[in-house]
Structure 1
Amino acid sequence: MTPPPTAIAEPATGTARTRPTVDVARTPAPAPTLVEKAETEKAGRPATGGLLVLAGMLLVALNLRAAVTSLGALLGEVRTGLGLSGAMAGLVTTLPTIAFAGLGALTPWLVRRYAPARVLVVAMTALAVGQVLRVVTDSALVFVATSALALAGIAVANILLPMLVKQHFPHRTGLVTGAYTMALTTGTTVAAASAVPVAHAFGSWRAGLGVWAGLAALAVLPWVPLALRARAARRAATGAVAVAAPARVRPARTRLGWAMAVYFGAQSLSGYAIMGWLAQLFRDAGFRPETAGLLLAGVTALGVPVALLMPTLAGRLRTLRPLVFGLTAFSAVSYLGLALAPRGGALLWVALLALGQGAFPLILTTIGLRARTAEGTVALSAFAQSTGYVIAALGPLLVGVLYEATGGWTAPIGFLLVALAVQTGAGLVIARPRFVEDERTR
């Protein structure tokens, strides 16, 4: 049973008033509010709700990159079909990070007002509708606008998944994070590998992009009953008793929050640059479009076991330093190989790059490990991801600008090596175990 809020006697009248506990440092794990407890119990029962939540999370995760990597594999065809300039193509490949940064920051505000299941229903619907609308237009501007609608749904889901892990599976954080990260990686891989063959089979790049709307629509289904159940639980709990407001966690006022944001931003910068431009790099090296798409898919395919293993390793190690340094070494060697011998050692560079991209599941796991509560997790997730995506937005854009200005890949890869150095520095800061609630500025 949730304990009542602290009662404080009024000096003048002797009456009592209530206030929520605000000192997170002295209260490491505040009890959930009655609303949160009711929603968790009803939406997360082991017999039905727990499995439904897990299935819903995995379906959402499958969608989180498919709309992005399918476009990366077909970027040349889309540029030709819509008449996109190099700068406009750079904007299109940067759009995911812009959307994730701007709209992801709104997610904690949404969660304070609506149940996460209801938010996810709207998010996945926006993703499905946006993907349909962007493939039926001949206007570059409409294509960008409808892509932004689709990406808005992904932006919100990005923030919610770490919170849902903390809320529904607090004792299996590493396992569940690994499962949904593996699903995310699988969706990324399948989209990158099949976008070109699907487009060729139907004779249009529009089919290669639009087919993923069906997967997004499927992801809506588990969250509809969960949303209805959570809404009923919230009404019942709110009508029964006044709810104490949880303490606000503000990662922007902590060193840990900023280190998490920089690490997330630096690794996402390279990740989105790779998704947007790696296939083009291999095309320039002499590979056929289908082969270039498969090599891009290889990065994510080899990343599937890494995504499953990384959260388990991160949860068991006292310090993350060995993982931070190891991931940096893999990425650095891969970048140098892509710059010096992209064709001769393509398979090796893809394998090393896949290992280096293990920084993504690492930071997702660390978000849950560096917060004590669901409130702290969603606040840290929103800050790290939204701020990180502002940083990451520079990746595809600057790679595109440098590629167009120099006509080669030496300068773009040099830029990615600098970003890798920044990532490593931030990684050393987040390697030591501590909690964002403990660093909150009073």
Structure 2
Amino acid sequence: MRSFCTIGSCGFGASGLGVPSRVVTRRGYPRGNRDNGSVTTPSPTPTTGGRWLVGAAIVLLAVNLRVAVGSVGVVLDQVRGDLGMTATVAGVLTTLPVVCFAVFGVGSAGSVRRLGLHRAAALVLALLTLGLVLRSVVDDGTVFLLCSVIALAGAAVGNVILPPLVKAHFPDRIPLMSSLYGAALMGGAAAASVTTVPLSDAFGGWRSGIGLWAVLSGLALVPWLLMLRRDVHAPQVHEDRLSMRAVSRSPLAWAMLLIFAAQSAGAYAQFGWFPQMLGDAGVSSGYAGALLGLLSAVGLPLTLGLPWLIERVGDRPYLPWAFAAVTAAGWLGVLLAPATVPWLWAVLLGLGGGAFTWTLTMIARRTRTTAGTATLSVTTQGLGYLLAGIGPFGVGALHDATGSWDAPIIALIALSGLIAVFGTIVARPVMLEDTLDRRPRG
């Protein structure tokens, strides 16, 4: 047997945190404790300060990944007015997040492997900061779109490096760290949506309102700069490097991709159309907007409670079944009685959003190596977001074609059923590496 190091020279970096060397079997996979789907091997114990620093850095990174999205929607009317955006350009702006998450997510695998996870995280935050600053000072709608692409490209890479960062630094705390960064993603989006308008009012307009978020991303960059000297790279041992082509032959990878796509398609349909569905049923626009905020807020405590729930249910598929059931119930309520108890439909849909963090947690729990986690993350999120773009677009197209919300909502109910179907496959205690045919082909 032989061992290799996944971080620098296996020493402690600037953070005081080292990633242990891993024992590799003849098949090329690490050997360790598999009780929770992670690999744990004897290693030097990192300092408490190092654990705190890297954990805080991961959470701060996650907080910033939805700010570029959440800060624009609430001031879009002012942005359009000042920059002379046409309705077409504004429509492109609303679809940019999903497109960028897909394109740059898929395209980031090779770059992350070469850069290392710490340098990639620093690059993510640098792009976010640059994009947020530039788009707050431009005077042209098209240039505003290009600056938004810079920020969203950073966010796209950030999406796919979160699971391997957790796998590398917290292999024994995957559910906990995944729930923390999942809550941070939701919290960042909610904070940007809620506070951008007050910031704009307080500091003289929408430019300050969206530009001030660059301060947060700049601060989040600092700890990653401190950790650059001891970066985390995908293993250089040949048999431990996984290509997207190899992973695409895994049934587990396809199940992971499709559950992520189904959940994300429904979620972006909620963000784009839920208020209008309620508004067309007679709910006031202010109340409908507040209910969208409630929908997002409900997911925070559920996400933080996921480690406890995952520990209780183990590898049984009860959680994806529950997420699918409450999502379907929420949409059924919107279909049959949208204006009766709309707060209840918002709560049910918000609870169903727990499927997002559960799926991200499974990316790390269903892989043995950091390299496997990184490739599965890119495959799941990059291609998953590409498919998810069908959700909000398809809802709008069905509504225009039928003149009613009935057909789109029925389609969303059916879509929620896919969470249960593919979640059942993902919940099985099967590792990605065990589903791959790694034999050389003649």
The TM-score normalised by the length of structure 1 is 0.82
Query: Are the structure 2 counterparts of residues 303 and 24 from structure 1 closer, same or farther at C-alpha, using a change threshold of 3 Å?
Result: farther
Match of 1:248 in 2: 241
Partners in 1 of 2:121 and 2:332 — Cα distance? Answer: 40
1:269, CA displacement in angstroms? 1.0
1:254-301: per-residue Cα shift (whole Å, max 9, x none)? 110011001111111111222233344455555565544432221121
Partners in 1 of 2:366 and 2:323 — Cα distance? Answer: 20
RMSD, aligned α-carbons: 3.1
1:171, CA displacement in angstroms? 0.8
Write the letter of the residue equivalent to 2:104.
L
Aligned: 1:70 with 2:66: no
1:104, CA displacement in angstroms? 1.2
What does 1:36-435 correspond to in 2, within 5 Å?
Answer: 45-82=46-83, 84=85, 87-202=88-203, 204-227=205-228, 229-230=229-230, 244-249=237-242, 250-285=246-281, 290-403=286-399, 408-435=404-431
Match of 1:19 in 2: none
Secondary structure (helix, strand or coil) at the match of 1:105 reads: helix
Query: Are the structure 2 counterparts of residues 382 and 26 from structure 1 closer, same or farther at C-alpha, using a change threshold of 3 Å?
Result: same
1:356, CA displacement in angstroms? 0.5
Query: Are the structure 2 counterparts of residues 316 and 381 from structure 1 closer, same or farther at C-alpha, using a change threshold of 3 Å?
Result: farther
Segment drifting more, 276-285 vs 371-380 = 276-285
1:331, CA displacement in angstroms? 0.7
5+ residue gaps, structure 2, are 6-23, 33-42
5+ residue gaps, structure 1, are 6-22, 32-40, 235-241
Partners in 2 of 1:398 and 1:25 — Cα distance? Answer: 48
1:221, CA displacement in angstroms? 1.1
Secondary structure (helix, strand or coil) at the match of 2:227 reads: helix
Partners in 2 of 1:295 and 1:436 — Cα distance? Answer: 39
Query: Are the structure 2 counterparts of residues 81 and 332 from structure 1 closer, same or farther at C-alpha, using a change threshold of 3 Å?
Result: farther
1:395-436: per-residue Cα shift (whole Å, max 9, x none)? 222334444555653343233223223333222221211000
Aligned: 1:438 with 2:439: no
Q: Is residue 118–residue 224 contact of structure 2 (8 Å, CA) maintained in 1?
A: yes
- Name the structure, 1 or 2, with higher relative contact order (CA <8 Å, separation 6+): 1
Partners in 2 of 1:375 and 1:110 — Cα distance? Answer: 13
Percent identity over paired residues: 40
Secondary structure (helix, strand or coil) at the match of 1:253 reads: coil
Secondary structure (helix, strand or coil) at the match of 1:191 reads: helix
Q: Is residue 127–residue 154 contact of structure 1 (8 Å, CA) maintained in 2?
A: yes
Match of 1:36 in 2: none
1:164, CA displacement in angstroms? 1.0
Q: Is residue 30–residue 373 contact of structure 1 (8 Å, CA) maintained in 2?
A: no
Query: Are the structure 2 counterparts of residues 350 and 203 from structure 1 closer, same or farther at C-alpha, using a change threshold of 3 Å?
Result: farther
Write the letter of the residue equivalent to 1:230.
R
The TM-score normalised by the length of structure 2 is 0.82
1:160, CA displacement in angstroms? 0.8
Query: Are the structure 2 counterparts of residues 322 and 100 from structure 1 closer, same or farther at C-alpha, using a change threshold of 3 Å?
Result: same
Residue correspondences, number? 407
